[in-house]
């Protein structure tokens, strides 16, 4: 039976939960997610879980922060003087906003706290510092994307 290996494009169904059981993402009711193992399209722990699976196989993988969205970093929490916020904008705790000097350098942040003097912004990924539990079902192994690219190159050369 074929097992998924680095370079293979795969299609998987998944449900991602926090340790307390809260679902934060799922492919239920949607098309399976497709990605190529080893290309960094998904978090490292998810890639590692898919590696070696066969079509039809299901497993549960517990992914520590280091293999997920990384540790929570306090240096990514910023305190901004309220006077730096445009007067027409009324920030509220929980809002997700984009800040930056240009479209190429935009940063997504969460408004954590708003007072008359300051606004606290958090640029950490919402899942940073959290252990994630994924239920993964290998739907299909589509084969090596790398081999196909190499074959295309050979045809063009030859």
Q: What is the mean pLDDT of each run of 10 residues along the chain (158 residues)?
A: 94 97 96 96 97 97 97 94 85 88 81 93 94 98 67 46
Tell me how far apart the alpha carbons of residues 1 and 145 are, in angstroms, rounded to a whole number: 19
Maximum C-alpha span of the chain: 69
Q: Which among 88, 145, 148, 89 is positioned nearest to 121, based on CA atoms?
A: 89
Q: What is the pTM of this model?
A: 0.78
Which domains does the chain show, CATH number per domain?
A: 8-70+127-146 (3.10.50.40), 74-122 (2.40.10.330)
| pLDDT of the residue at 86 | 82
HSE value, Cβ hemisphere, 13 Å, CA-based, for 138 = 29
pLDDT of residue 104: 77
């Amino acid at each position: 039976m074929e097992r998924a290996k680095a370079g293979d494009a795969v299609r998987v169904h998944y449900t991602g939960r926090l340790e307390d059981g809260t679902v934060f993402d799922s492919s239920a009711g949607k098309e399976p997610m497709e990605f190529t193992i080893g290309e960094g399209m998904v978090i490292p722990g998810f890639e590692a879980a898919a590696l070696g699976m066969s079509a039809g196989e299901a497993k549960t993988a517990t992914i520590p922060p280091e293999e997920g969205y990384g540790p929570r970093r306090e240096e990514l929490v910023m305190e901004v003087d309220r006077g730096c916020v445009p007067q027409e904008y009324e920030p509220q705790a929980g809002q997700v906003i984009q800040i930056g000097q240009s479209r190429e350098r935009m940063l997504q942040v969460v408004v954590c706290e708003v007072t008359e003097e300051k606004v606290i912004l958090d640029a950490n990924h919402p899942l940073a510092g959290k252990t994630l539990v994924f239920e993964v079902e290998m739907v299909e192994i589509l084969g090596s994307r790398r081999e196909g690219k190499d074959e295309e190159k050979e045809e063009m050369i030859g």
